[in-house]
Structure 1
Amino acid sequence: MSLQNVLAEAAAELALFAALGFLLFSLDDLAVDAIFFVRRVWRAVTVYRHHPHADARSLVEGAPSGWMVVLIPAWDEASVIGAMLRAALKRFDHPDYTLLVGYYRNDPATRFAIEDVPDPRVMAVEVPVDGPTTKADCLNHLYSFLVRHEAASGRRARAVVLHDAEDLVHPLELRLFDRLVGRAGVVQLPVVPLPDRASPWIGGHYCDEFAESHGKELVVREAVGAAIPLAGVGCAIAREAIARLAAAHDGRPFAGGSMTEDYEMGLRLGALGERTIFVRLPASSGEPGAVASRGHFPGTLGAAVRQKARWLGGIAFAGWDRLGWRGGLGERWFRLRDRRGPLAALLLLSGYVAAALWGQLWFAAQLGAPLPPQPSPLLATLLQVNFFLLLWRMLMRITFTTRLYGFGEGLASVPRVVAGNLIAILAAGRALFLHAGGGPKTWDKTAHTFPAEAARS
């Protein structure tokens, strides 16, 4: 067999593998789309015919206020933590809250930055070991401090809120949490990545992915009865709920050995019977956007790969071992969707390699080599079906990105799919390598930036 035939055979096998996988994944995504749009139409003709659309400002009006405690873990965050805390103090519209900020004893720069914000609502909490440990370990130290502080002060928090050191908080966030934690044990708000003009492709692809996942995926997840995984920011856990989880884990509610402790917490609380909800509300009627947590995401290829590898490793590899397949049909379906990332990366890699091989064969044919064999009828049919499914996926991506960022960013989301695919492939390889070695043992964080315009305001 000639080299050309060998390459053509390899390209066909890889393409068939990728096409079958893409078909299954696309049908899975179509099921999510169908539930989302059916639910949207159903609510329009039932609920909203008799009740106006809710908004955060009217919902929190006149609501009683409890003590809200925000946990902010920090390692090597001297460049952003001060600006973040000042902005939060200016923006939060709530009469009673405390910001507990964890730092490590060998990170004096972060400690000085925290202490440079002289406000009684900010409390610096030292983690009495050299860092970094894991983010979950830092959060567990903050929780232990909260328990001691509650005992000493005679007060009890209404809810624990999670944020990172680079987050731009929404003014109504704490009031909304205060209102809703009585209805659910866990409340997650949307996460909205801020566009980064210096990184339109790497940073921009986060905008596209979160626009769709937090605009549609989590809505459907809640609709089918699956637990909402926490994003680690813009989320609140009722004090009683986190106490239940702590009691079941020797006083440490955050999974210390996990790189995705936030994701796990939502599912673990759901397994305990706590109601978990995803809340997407405008600040007031007619106002664009939603009450959400905003922030910059990694803008370089290396940082994005590290972050995505941490997510993939914690959710797809370690999550399989740590959380298993508990729950009803909806819960199991979404756990399966959560864990398909490594397989999706393998399918993408196979598809790109097949395309590259066919490109080489086509180029050789232009130079006089024999034409490669045509795809089999099965493969040709699969390619045609997948092409139309891809068009639908691109339409969904454009729709949800446009909804948040405007039509220009919506159009840019199409070529950014390639950047996202490259990051996914590289991240899956890194995640597999780390998982085979027992997983990362410390906080594998990326460098953060805080929005300049918020720091100036």
Structure 2
Amino acid sequence: MSLQSIIAAWPAILGTLAIVLLLSGVDDLVPVLICLTHWIRHRKPAIAPSLGEFLGEERRIAIFVPCWKESGVIGNMVRHNVAAIGYRNYDFFLGVYPNDGATVEATERLAETFRNVHVAECPHPGPTSKADCLNWIYQRMTLFEEETGARFDTVVLHDAEDLIHPEALSTINRERATYAMVQIPVLPLPTPFGEFTHAVYCDEFAEFQRIDMLARQYSGSFIPSNGVGTGFAREILERLASERDNLVFDAASLTEDYEIGVHIHEAGQTQLFAPLKKGGKGYIATREYFPRTLRSAIRQRTRWVTGIALQCWERHGWGRSWRTRYWFWRDRKGLIANPVSLLTNLLFLVGAGDWIESLYMHRPWAFAVENPGILALCWVTLGLQSVRLTLRAACVAGIFGLGFAVGVPLRCFHGNLVNCCASMGALWRFLHSKAHRRPLVWLKTEHAYPSRDALLLHRRELDEVLVASGYLSKGEMAQVRAEMRADGDLAEHLVASGRLSDDEVCKAMSLQSGVPSGRVDTRRVKARIARTLPAHVEERFGIVPFGVERGRLLVAGASVPPANALEELKAFTRLQIEFQLVTKRNYQELRALL
């Protein structure tokens, strides 16, 4: 189509686009109005007890983490979360595949280090779907229960790169007294302003968690699982297993998390989206990095759109209630709205370019429209879009800061490109699979583990770990703090005062940092191994090598080395470096070998 033909048909094109965008804009206000109505009716809600005041029993929780090619992140994920989680009665179950040797080895090392980490190996090669891996993890959990006599009350889903908030499991445990499914908010970790692709996730999730998820809750519709940070009652999973030949999660589904939320709602069970609120150093939410390149973002969102908008439509239709129908519409309208939004953006750029040229050439603007009805539609549509972007920017500013929120209007153009490509890709994949009578293939998302700065957000202080682990009471800790100097070292004071032993302090520091601890038998350490690294390097970082095992150089120290230490040590060895925390006495014994 030539520019002249576009200009000739411009009034009709503009009028049609304005009507579509007007309907979409009005629809986007509905969740806002639902939340506003709820707020007006419940201005003074009952004050729920804080987690510190909640003294209920810690139900046993199983955390399912499916893994495929996750050897680079799963170790850090488990070690950090074991250190950060302020909850004691839980176990990790890590799902792996026999043809992914690196991940199998990494998870087996974790199981050797932590008593509450267990490996669930699928009986067939991978990759399959996430749901298939989750089913085998569920089988491993039931086998563990048979072997030990334990029983898990709640199952929580997570991915291999997730940062679990210290209070997340406590929140799920508290709300599980009332609800069969509890969804903790999910938020992307912040990235630099210029990373537009990841920033789009920040914008959309901020708005989704602040408005859409709450509106679903208030309207009485289904709460979709986000796939991470979702806690399920054990009874619900057992019921699904009995209905599906022991397959809790639908292995053929591309978005098993979304669909299981629909199933639970249709079964008449209660669901809760835990409202976003502050806890400790940040919001009580699961944090992670989402795709940071255009290609990977389109790939992930193509799977989301295929599963949520098309596959779920095929399986569930439009539901039985008007509430379900409306939210199904909200989740599926992107098939139309996303291409229309991108088309509008492109026409806007063409029209803006022609307007600038018309000023320079002193000619009439070719895209000018004089029809008052169309002009009124355009102004109303522009107003609705401005309201939407303002609300999104407000949500983003509350979580990521005002400076980051300034970029929301610019990023909406990039977001429209990503979402349009995903919608077109989803339609092509779905129709192609139907035409060739082939099942849809699950597309894995590549995961990256957060930086040390992001991890520090969830790091617990040593005194908190000591009290939570039962080494000291709150009163005893307050007395210790009163005895110490302001700049004193807590660990040294506890040992010097005789309140705790060297071993007890070492174990507490291990819990705090998420690194393994233990005693190294110096009689088995060869002097040449202990002298593997230059003396000045060992002294600078406070570490001593004590063994070589399966391509790893094992080093020990009485304190956790700084973040850059292990990176710098790579210059002196080709082996992968693994750190172990030891007592100060044990460290001095190792130093004597040098």
TM-score range, shorter chain: over 0.9
Deviation at 1:36, TM superposition (A): 0.8
Post-superposition shift, 1:29?
Answer: 1.5
Give, in angstroms, the shift of residue 401 of structure 1: 0.5
Distance 1:128 1:10, change over 3 A: farther
Hey, what's the Cα distance between the residues in 2 that align with 1:199 and 1:149?
Answer: 47
- Aligned 8 A contact 1:56 1:291 in 2: no
Report the residue type matching 1:241 in the other structure: I
Distance 2:129 2:193 in 1: 30
| Matching residue of 1:157 | 152
Q: Which residue of 1 aligns with 2:93?
A: 100
Q: Which residue of 1 aligns with 2:42?
A: 43
**1:216 Cα deviation (Å)?**
1.1
Query: In structure 1, what residue type is equivalent to 2:336?
Result: L
Contact 1:133 1:441 in 2 (8 A): no
Equivalent positions of 1:94-173 (< 5 A) are: 94-117=87-110, 118-173=113-168
Code of the aligned partner of 1:449: A
> RMSD of aligned C-alpha atoms?
2.2
Whether the 8 Å contact between 1:215 and 1:400 is mirrored in structure 2 is yes
| Cα distance per residue 1:167-197 (max 9 Å; x no partner) | 0001122222122212111000100110122
Q: Which has the higher contact order (CA 8 A, sep 6+)?
A: 1
Residue identity opposite 1:68 in structure 2: I
Query: Which has the higher mean CA deviation after the structures are superposed, 362-371 or 213-222?
Result: 362-371
**Total equivalences in the alignment:** 448
Alpha-carbon offset, residue 16 of structure 1: 2.5
Equivalent residue of 2:155, what SS? strand
Post-superposition CA distance 1:194-251 (Å, at most 9, x none): 0122853111111111111011111110111101000000110000011112222111
Out of 148-157 and 178-187, give the one that drifted further: 148-157
Given candidates 215, 219, 244, the residue that maps to 1:220 is: 215
Matches within 5 A, 1:225-244: 225-244=220-239
**Deviation at 1:5?**
4.4
Aligned to 1:84: 77
Is 1:374 aligned to 2:398, yes or no? no
The Cα of 1:301 is off from its aligned counterpart by: 0.4
- How far apart, CA to CA, are the structure 2 residues paired with 1:5 and 1:272? 57
Instruction: Rate the CA distance shift 1:306–1:373 in 2: closer, same or farther, 3 A.
Output: closer
Among 292, 297, 301, the alignment partner of 1:304 is: 297
- 2:191 and 2:235 map into 1 onto residues whose CA distance is 39
Q: Give 1:4 deviation, angstroms.
A: 5.5
Q: Distance in 1 between matches of 2:364 and 2:317?
A: 52
Q: Return the offset for 1:363.
A: 6.2
Instruction: For 1:53-92, list aligned pairs within 5 A.
Output: 54-58=49-53, 61-92=54-85
Distance in 1 (alpha carbons) for counterparts of 2:234 and 2:195: 40
Could you tell me the TM-score, scaled by structure 1's length?
A: 0.92
CA distance in 1 between counterparts of 2:134 and 2:267 reads: 20
Secondary structure of the residue aligned to 2:407 is helix
Q: Percent identity?
A: 32
Residues 10, 367 of structure 2: 8 Å contact kept: no
Q: Quick check: 1:172–1:283 contact (8 Å CA) kept in 2?
A: no
SS state at 1:448 partner: coil
Partners of 2:402 and 2:355 in 1: CA distance: 36
How many Å separate the matches in 1 of 2:203 and 2:219?
24
1:99-134: CA deviation from partner (whole Å, max 9, x where unpaired): 000011110111112122221111111112111111
Whether the aligned pair in 2 keeps the contact of 1:56 and 1:283 (CA below 8 Å) is no
SS in structure 1 of the partner of residue 182 of structure 2: strand
What CA distance in whole angstroms lies between the structure 1 residues aligned with 2:101 and 2:169?
30
SS of 1:57 mapped into structure 2:
coil
Alignment of 1:214-293 (within 5 A): 214-280=209-275, 282=277, 289-293=282-286
Corresponding residue number in structure 2 for 1:33: 32
CA distance in 2, matches of 1:293, 1:87: 13
Superposition deviation, residue 434 in structure 1: 1.1
Instruction: State how 1:319-398 maps to structure 2 within 5 Å.
Output: 319-359=312-352, 361-362=354-355, 365=358, 367=361, 371-372=365-366, 374-375=368-369, 376-398=371-393
What is the identity, as a one-letter code, of the residue corresponding to 1:307?
Q
Q: Does the Cα contact within 8 Å between 1:186 and 1:277 map onto a contact in 2? A: yes
Counterparts of 2:154 and 2:8 in 1: how far apart (Å)? 59
Q: What secondary structure, in the 3-state scheme, does the structure 1 residue paired with 2:265 have?
A: helix
TM-superposed CA distance for 1:71, in Å, is 0.5
Of 376-385 and 236-245, the range deviating more from structure 2: 376-385
Query: Does the aligned pair in 2 maintain the 1:17–1:350 contact within 8 Å?
Result: no
Alpha-carbon distance in structure 2 between the residues aligned to 1:173 and 1:442? 32
| Separation of aligned partners in 1, 2:153 and 2:123 | 27
Distance 2:334 2:41 in 1: 31
Distance 1:455 1:377 in 2: 56
Q: In the alignment, residue 186 of structure 1 is paired with which amino acid?
A: M
Cα deviation for residue 13 of structure 1 reads 3.5
Change (3 A) 1:6 1:368: farther
The residue matched to 2:62 in structure 1 has which SS?
Answer: strand
How far apart, CA to CA, are the structure 1 residues paired with 2:287 and 2:3? Answer: 52
Could you tell me whether the CA contact under 8 Å between 2:226 and 2:257 is conserved in 1? yes
Q: Deviations over 1:372-411 (max 9, x none)?
A: 3632333211111111111111110111111111111121
Give the direction of change, closer, same or farther, for the CA distance of 1:235–1:199 in structure 2 (3 Å limit). Answer: farther
Secondary structure of 1:437's aligned partner: helix
CA shift, 1:97, in A, is 1.0
In 1, the alpha carbon distance for the partners of 2:346 and 2:133 equals 42
- CA distance 1:200–1:368, change in 2 (3 Å): same
Shift of 1:359: 4.5
Distance in structure 1 (CA, Å) of the matches to 2:3 and 2:278: 61
Residues 277 and 367 from structure 1, CA distance in 2 versus in 1: closer, same or farther, beyond 3 angstroms? same
- Structure (1 or 2) with the larger CA radius of gyration: 2
One-letter code aligned to 1:266: G
1:9/1:276 CA distance change after superposition, 3 Å: farther
Q: Give the unaligned 5+ runs of structure 2.
A: 457-512, 514-594
Per-residue CA deviation, residues 424-451 of structure 1 (Å, 9 max, x unaligned), is 1111111111111228744312221111
Letter in structure 2 aligned against 1:70 = I
Residue equivalent to 2:449: 450
The alignment partner of 1:208 has SS state of helix
Q: Secondary structure at the match of 1:320?
A: helix
Q: CA deviation at 1:368?
A: 7.3
Q: Are the structure 2 counterparts of residues 441 and 89 from structure 1 closer, same or farther at C-alpha, using a change threshold of 3 Å?
A: same
Q: List runs of 5+ in structure 1 lacking aligned partners.
A: none
1:55 is displaced (CA, Å) by 3.7
Secondary structure in structure 2 of the residue aligned to 1:123: strand
Superposition TM-score, scaled by structure 2 size: 0.72
Task: Give the residue type in structure 2 aligned to 1:23.
Answer: L
Given that 2:21 and 2:381 are in contact with CA atoms closer than 8 Å, whether structure 1 keeps it comes out as: yes
